[in-house]
Amino acid sequence: MILVTGGAGYIGSHCVMALLEKGFEVIIFDNLSTGHIETVQTLQNYGNLRFVQGDLLNQCDLKSLFEQNNIDAVIHFAAFSQVAESVKNPKKYYINNVVGTLNLLNAMLDHNVKNIVFSSTAATYGEPVYTPIDEKHPQNPINPYGQTKLTIEKIMDDYNKAYSLKSVRLRYFNVAGADSKSRIGEWHDPETHLIPNILKSTFSGGKTFQMFGDDYNTKDGTCVRDYINVEDLANAHLLALKYLENGGETNYFNLGTNEGNTVKEVFALCEKVTNREIPIEIKPRRQGDPAVLVADNKKAKEVLGWQPEKTLENSIQSAYDWEKILQNRLK
């Protein structure tokens, strides 16, 4: 049985769907602070899935979770992830993300569960010293969210050395898209990600989007970001799990496409998919916005055998198909 913390959320739910479709028995542990019970109910139609509502900060919840279920490995998504909020309220992030994960790791040790796949982030790298960013790039986060993820990575190193608790840390770049069969998708309130916000605007009379800087040293003057499809991302977690089950050592991998798209390209693809014109206002550059943030994904390809398969247009199309369903559901 695979325990998925935060499995009612965006990325976690897509990973659960991938596990169920491969025949795994799954248990979701989620406090539903940002996840949705409707997502869990949808997932229960596709395989052997249990749901336990609980909180990583509640050690009694964790104790009963591990005592009542025969857990073989953990995939850990549960975390707060809003960068701006983490700057305003770092206490919330350090307690939830770091203390919650410590409680989880200690419960694993108490019940002899020794493999965990951890949802980390490219935010652990901070400002890029060079691109594409490989795993040797210095880790120097510039916000508390990134610091919490890096702190957890360091804790996992110590737990590996002392207790042989093996971990794979997956450092994501920008995640996009939804389930290709429109069963689940991105559902945040408030939504802070660019692509779903562009798509949402086409249902609400439209709005003018601000584009910060068109004078960068890139092919069209706008920032380049690396967008990874959420189903490709889910597949990487299954491969990481398999790597650990086959005796792989503690490791870490960047997950991205190795290419990246400009902000203008994102808007152009959203216009193509939705067949709507999306108004844009060009503004000066924002301080601290790097021109290019792209992953070097060679290590994940070589060690995990992972390969991103979907294009950004695929991601936007699936996100738009999901957004139509969500708009009807929220009427």
Name the residues annotated as catalytic. Answer: 145
- Six token digits for residue 162: 């002392």
Distance of alpha carbon 132 from its chain centroid, rounded?
19
- Six token digits for residue 42: 């949808």
Question: What contacts 247, CB < 8 A, 6 or more positions away?
Answer: none
The whole-angstrom separation of Cα 135 and Cα 254 is: 7
Residue with tokens 């009963």: 64
The whole-angstrom separation of Cα 67 and Cα 70 is: 8
DSSP 295: B
DSSP 94: I
The whole-angstrom separation of Cα 97 and Cα 157 is: 17
- Cβ distance 28 to 50 under 8 Å? yes
- Give yes or no for a cis peptide into 290 (omega within 30° of 0): no
The whole-angstrom separation of Cα 141 and Cα 139 is: 6
Question: Cα–Cα–Cα angle for 138, 139, 144, nearest 5°?
Answer: 155
